[in-house]
Chains A and B, each alone.
Chain A
Amino acid sequence: MTPQSNAAITAQNVTRKYLGGSFTAVDDVSLDFPEAQVTAFVGPSGCGKTTMLRMIAGLEDPTQGSISVYGEPVLGPGPDRGMIFQAYTSFPWLTALQNVEYGMKIIGIGKAERREKAERLLQEVHLGHAADSYPSQLSGGMKQRVAIARTLAQNPTVLLMDEPFGALDAQVRWEMQEMMIEIIEVEKKTVIMVTHDIQEAIYLADRIVFFTRNPGRIKQDIILDFKGGKRFPQKEALLAEPGYIDVERQLFAWMREEIQSG
């Protein structure tokens, strides 16, 4: 793949080795992420998709190769790349509102603007009623909403999500997915998400990068053409779309190949 000029993120020949080089989590991966595209990393457990995401976030360094965001090499984590984790990372000592304000405080946004924006974002993630609750009083789904609002509050150019709904039960996950569609529509950010959930990947993403396991390489890189550039506010509308089932069947087939080859 050749680097494109409109790419928000470019990864070139990225390799990440562990255990003194004896284990290769990511092997020579090159990818371009165009602006405002939603990409899902899919693949079996241990295929390096999370490692790849963490390297883009700057939480880990590539052993070889380089990653850049709008031409700037990634040298560490930063607020231009907002990250949402699978673990609940809303700070337990801050209320929902204070959590959302935290990120803005870090990047030096004034108090009045902070408060106003935090309130608006809590509305956006359907959490306006719980602004003054501490995370210990919130459910898992609500904690993730706080984390999403807090990340959006910094207005990052890139949104990275590491299995953001992996710890939630099926119903809440579904609600969160539909909420994410709203957010993607409103915020128009470049999004990269890691997920185990094939249906989630097809529902949220414009493009799916499928990783192989040990070493982590790109098995397939597909654009979800069947959606015709549409995003579906309701998940069942996607399932009714012609072509959906073919993609899902294909992804399951790749998943089976990878699991059996491991």
Chain B
Amino acid sequence: MSSSDVRQGDKAAVVAQGQRTPKKERQKQFLRLLTPVDSKQTAIYGVLGAAAFFLLWEVGHYLTPEESRRFLPSPQHVVGTLIRLIEEKNFLADVGISLYRVIFSFFVATVIAVPLGVFMGCFSNMRALINPILSGWRYLPAASFIPLLLVWFGPTDTQKLALLFLGVIFFLVALILDNTEAVEKSLVEAALTMGANRWQIVMGVVARAASPAIVDSLRNMIAVSWTYLVIAEIVAAQDGIGAVMMRAGRFLKVDIIMAGILAIGILGVLTDIAFRLLAYWMFPWNRKRRG
């Protein structure tokens, strides 16, 4: 083989390689790590996700054999039922009762849990005193209190409120304790070196610094409160969304049960949005910088 042959061969190899590997470009992947989506894309994805869910539901409805279709009514039927309940059965009164139960019990839980959690988060000896006895309660299912609450309060509104309260209070205290302890120690030390007293530090520094995280905890826990609503209204309740659903269950009216689930879902999302707006309005200093 002559030297020119070798060179020829090399050239050919280079050309061939050039053809095999296309020009290198950063791949446009569908799933890319650490890549934010803008608000328009977020909205599109959200609508797509919801549409897929309702489509699946719709398909499920039509795949169900004719004779049992009423056990899986179509989405539009459930929405229709919800509207009919509101127009003909005074369902909004039940919604109001349920809303009142969730909000009132949650308000009472908040009024107790926030000071208690902040107090324990600020003073380790108080945490050592209170937290051990408190944390055990979190492992007891709230429903297990129903018999006791029925004996104590009877089938009253108080019994329902108490159940909803017990369902969230222990978690709420634990979360707010965490939020408080997560406050940077250096903020407290800075305030101390400026001569702030304990009260000024607890209220003016620790509680202030922890407040966005606390409102976040409240937002997450009110969702739990909504999940306990049906349990609270199943037993010995005449009114409320849960009671309506239980009555419907007795007559196999699946569309009404599903309308109730839908109503709770909508209310849950609304309370979530309310808390987000509250946080946005209360903490202008904590808003994420845009762009």
Contact = CB atoms under 8 A, between A and B. Distances in A.
Interface string A198-227: 000000000000000000000000000000
A77 B285 contact: no
A82 B286 contact: no
Contact of A87 (B184, B194, B208): B184
A59 B189 contact: yes
Contacts of B224: none
Interface of B: 184, 186-187, 189-196, 200, 205, 208-209, 211, 283-286, 289
For the complex of A and B, 9 pairs with smallest distance between CB atoms: A89-B190, A79-B195, A87-B186, A83-B193, A134-B285, A77-B192, A103-B194, A77-B193, A93-B285
A216 B151 CA distance: 66
A150 B159 CA distance: 52
Interface string A129-163: 00000111100000000010011001000001000
A89 B191 CA distance: 9
Contact of A106 (B187, B200, B284): B200
A92 interface: yes
A136 B285 contact: yes
A78 B209 CA distance: 22
Contacts of B192: 59, 76-77
A85 interface: yes
Nearest to A108: B195
A107 B283 CA distance: 26
B196 A106 contact: yes
Contacts, number: 69
A93 B190 contact: no
Contacts of A134: 284-285
13 contacts: A59-B192, A77-B193, A79-B195, A81-B193, A85-B186, A89-B186, A91-B208, A93-B208, A93-B209, A106-B195, A136-B286, A154-B194, A160-B193
A33 interface: no
Contacts of B286: 92-93, 136
B187 A89 contact: yes
Interface in A31-63: 57-59
Given A58-B193, A106-B195, A147-B190, 18 more contacts: A76-B192, A79-B195, A83-B189, A89-B184, A89-B189, A89-B190, A91-B187, A91-B208, A91-B209, A92-B285, A93-B211, A93-B283, A103-B195, A106-B200, A107-B194, A136-B286, A151-B194, A154-B195
Contacts of A81: 193
A102 interface: yes
Nearest to B189: A59
Contact of B289 (A58, A82, A87, A137): A137
B290 to A, nearest CB: 11
B289 A57 contact: no
